[in-house]
């Protein structure tokens, strides 16, 4: 997007300069109008930079479709009874997922750890935009799944 703004502002500035040099009498305002348009483009670019940076600083979450992909993959792992919470802040070009899986409360610590590890690797294998996954294990209480 920033490249498009630079190209367009350069085109506007060049056109304004060419018109004002070509015929100063008829295009006296071209330089002023071109400067005004370039100023608007700079403000628009600044708005996008501030918005994108603010979202990064505030741990912007991925869209609902991506969250749903994470949940579907986690629920597909054998032994997962539900997904209690999913948190996925963006870090650079990838997301760091924090996932709360609901499992059988009678499951051993060793088995639940193995399930968490398997789910972690499954998500990372299937979703190339996920950098890492931290899995928390919660006892399944029989409530609604995938809230």
pLDDT value for 59:
62
Q: Which of 38, 57, 76 is the last residue of a domain?
A: 57
pLDDT value for 147:
44
Please tell me which residue, 19 or 144, carries the higher pLDDT value.
19
pLDDT value for 60:
67
**Number of C-beta neighbours around residue 54 at 10 A:** 10
User: What pLDDT, in 10s, does the model give residues 46-64?
Assistant: 888 888 777 666 666 777 8
0.85 exceeded by pTM: no
Indicate whether 147 belongs to any domain. Answer: no
pLDDT bucket at 22, cuts 50 / 70 / 90: confident
Rounded-to-5 percentages of helix, strand, coil across the chain: 55, 20, 25
pLDDT value for 73:
94
**Average pLDDT for 6-25:** 78
Lowest-confidence range among 33-37, 66-70, 134-138? 33-37
Reply yes or no on whether the pLDDT at 132 is more than 80.
yes
Indicate whether 75 belongs to any domain. Answer: yes
pLDDT value for 146:
46
Whether 72 and 89 map to the same domain: the answer is: yes
pLDDT bucket at 93, cuts 50 / 70 / 90: confident
Reply yes or no on whether the pLDDT at 2 is more than 70.
no
Domain with 104, as residue range(s), is: 64-139
pLDDT value for 143:
61
Sequence-distant (6+) residues with CB within 8 A of 53 are none
Whether 39 and 75 map to the same domain: the answer is: no
| Number of domains, the chain | 2
**Average pLDDT for 24-37:** 78
- Helix (H) or strand (E) run with residue 116 in it: helix 109-126
Whether 100 and 122 map to the same domain: the answer is: yes
Residues 104 and 111: their CA atoms lie apart, in Å, by 10
Whether 84 and 18 map to the same domain: the answer is: no
pLDDT value for 90:
79
């Amino acid at each position: 997007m920033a490249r498009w703004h630079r190209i367009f502002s350069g085109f506007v500035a060049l056109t304004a300069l060419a018109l004002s040099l070509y015929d100063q009498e008829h295009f006296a305002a071209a330089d002023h109008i071109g400067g005004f348009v370039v100023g608007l483009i700079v403000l628009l670019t600044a708005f996008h930079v501030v918005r994108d940076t603010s979202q990064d600083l505030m741990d912007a979450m991925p869209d609902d479709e991506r969250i749903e992909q994470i949940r579907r993959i986690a629920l597909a792992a054998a032994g997962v009874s539900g997904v209690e919470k999913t948190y996925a802040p963006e870090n650079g070009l990838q997301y760091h997922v924090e996932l709360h899986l609901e499992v059988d409360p009678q499951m051993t610590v060793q088995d639940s750890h193995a399930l968490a590890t398997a789910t972690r690797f499954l998500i990372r294998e299937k979703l190339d935009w996920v950098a890492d996954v931290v899995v928390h294990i919660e006892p399944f209480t029989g409530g609604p799944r995938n809230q």
